[in-house]
Structure 1
Amino acid sequence: MVPLGLAFGALVVQSGLDWWWAALSAALVYGGSFEFLLIGMVVAVASPASIAVAAFLVNARHVFYALSFPLERVRGRLAKTYSTFALTDEAYALTGTERSRTWSGPRILWLQFFMHVYWAGSATAGALLGSLIPDGVTGLDFALTALFTVLALDAIRDLRGDLPTPVLALLSAVAARLLFPEQMLLAAFALFTAGLLARRVATGRRPTRA
């Protein structure tokens, strides 16, 4: 969270925006992949409607996260509201492991809170230090792709020989890219979910969760 937040903050400043854009976005938007996209849209003066559609398409994957995220362990309306807001890819990845099945609601909530603090704090620091980075440095926007690559590799290791699951995920991504290039992320998640359900029906067992 910290290296990615630093890269985001630096990218905000290098894009010509004031440093407080990074702090405000990290605190209130708190959607890493969409925030990277939002920088370009703000710089290009995109319409509010375009930004809203982009936000929906990029963050629609959270609908699928909610199917297995342990929100029922979090007690209290306010706590549940914040936990829903703070449901990120990293929080989902950590709460979806075998070890996390015994975690209590407060532990899950504190995990999400500290991730939020790490992201907001590092984004602000990156923005304040961004002016020190030479203009010739490129590739900061690739930090998010690198993070997803690491999360994918860790998920594959946790499958313990369950090869069909990552193969199904790869095929879903390729099919979505070819058939629905404008809505690839949402289509890939839908195809992957449908494939897992079909596999469950066909094999009569619950597939290992990545």
Structure 2
Amino acid sequence: MIRVLLADDEAMIRAGVKAILATDPDVVVVAEAGNGRDAVELALAHRPDVALLDIRMPVLDGLAAAAEIARVAPGVAVAVLTTFGDDAYVARALDGGARGFLLKSGDPRELLAGVHAVADGGAYLAPKVAARVLAAMDTRAITRSADARARTAVLTPRERDVLALLGAGLSNARIAARLDLVEGTVKGHVSTILTRLDLANRVQAAVLAHDAGLTPPPD
């Protein structure tokens, strides 16, 4: 039996969603909340298998509630209920630990499929949401890549070579061998790269190299 916590500030929406869930003999709603704060408290009290949260709720919205539930009750799988206009928040919910994104206006079968998927430890995106999420992710990746290329443009060609091999995970000694340099020279280049690009360590440098498209393919 999949135990569900349902949170939505509109009683009629809760009733409709609850009615859909009731058509599945393997699903039961164990608690209901009208705001995000109550949802968090009920998740702690009941430890349901799934917390089904509306995004727009008073006191604490669904995104904040999802993150809080993931923090204080990590065994509870969170799925977010959304309207088409809410999907700009999907990335925030992903970062906060939500596993599912379901449309209130979608097919009831999608709601049931999503609840089962997240309860089983998987993830579920309503098809219409998935298309928009993928498009948004592509846009963010393009923007991140452009920013990284702009940052690394201040480097000399040799520094870019060193950064590229940092991105491939090579040590100073291996970079020196690859570029026919002495290790001390590579160490100096690495220090300069970190300083000029305001990076804290080699890991950040490697991420930037990857985003900028500098990292070479594996041998």
Q: Which has the higher contact order (CA 8 A, sep 6+)?
A: 1
TM class by smaller structure? under 0.3
Answer with 1 or 2: which has the greater Rg: 2
Which protein has the bigger strand share? 2
Could you say which structure has the higher helix fraction?
1
Q: Return the TM-score normalized by structure 1.
A: 0.22
